[in-house]
Amino acid sequence: MERGKLLPAMAALAIAALAGGCFQPLYGERSLTGGPVLRDQLSAVDILQIEAPKGSDEARLAVEIRNALLFDFSGGGSAAPPTHRLKIAISSTRAAIIVDVNTSRPDIENYGINATYSLTEIATAKVVVTGQTFAWVSYDIPTPWTHYVESFETERAGGERRKPAARDHRAPKKAGRSS
């Protein structure tokens, strides 16, 4: 191989070797530097109860979102003493997209959930991160004589909406900014 082609190839390999040493799995069990791993740091986040009207779809979703976050942050293990507090507020929206003209019942609905959150450092009471996220799902209500289908589809759609809303904690925003 010519020296002119060998030098760039060796430089590329050297850069790759240096960059490869910086890789650390996000949810790994061990830290390469000996510092705390992300799971240990996330387990120190106190996730407050999400306020929602009792008996509503939002109340059920609030419990599901909080439970998903608790599991994601601690991995199902015990939580560390809290250093931060996460407060989440949710609201939902339902829109009938297609309505049956004979029964006035919706055939297709869109259901959305909006979540606003803030992460506060407990020691200083300083807000570290704020933001908002949303998730939408569309579902069919296929026949007018199956009245239970609407509530079943709403419940199923709620589980699908919860997943992206709960996962958005993995891409935190800077304090004072929202998306």
Least confident of 65-74, 131-140, 164-173: 164-173
Report d(CA 50, CA 70) in Å as an integer: 12
Residue 44 falls within a domain, yes or no? yes
DSSP line for 157-170: HHHHHHHHHHHGGG
Structural domain includes residue 25: no
Indicate whether 23 belongs to any domain. no
pLDDT digit string (tens) for 38-60?
677 788 899 999 998 898 888 99
The H-assigned helical ranges of the chain are 3-20, 38-42, 57-74, 148-167
Q: State phi, psi for 55 to the nearest 5 degrees.
A: 80, 5
Is residue 29 in a domain? no
Residue 138 covered by a domain: yes
Number of independent structural domains in the chain:
1
Find the helix or strand (DSSP H, E) in which 119 lies.
strand 106-121
CATH number of the domain residue 46 falls in: 3.30.160.150
Tell me, yes or no, whether 134 lies in a domain: yes
Residue 164 reports pLDDT greater than 60: no
Instruction: Tell me the whole-structure pTM to 2 decimals.
Output: 0.62
3: in domain? no
Query: In this structure, how many other beta carbons lie within 10 angstroms of the beta carbon of residue 18?
Result: 9
Q: What is the DSSP letter of 67?
A: H
Name the residue range of residue 46's domain. Answer: 38-170
Q: pLDDT at position 178, please?
A: 44
Q: What is the pLDDT at residue 32?
A: 60
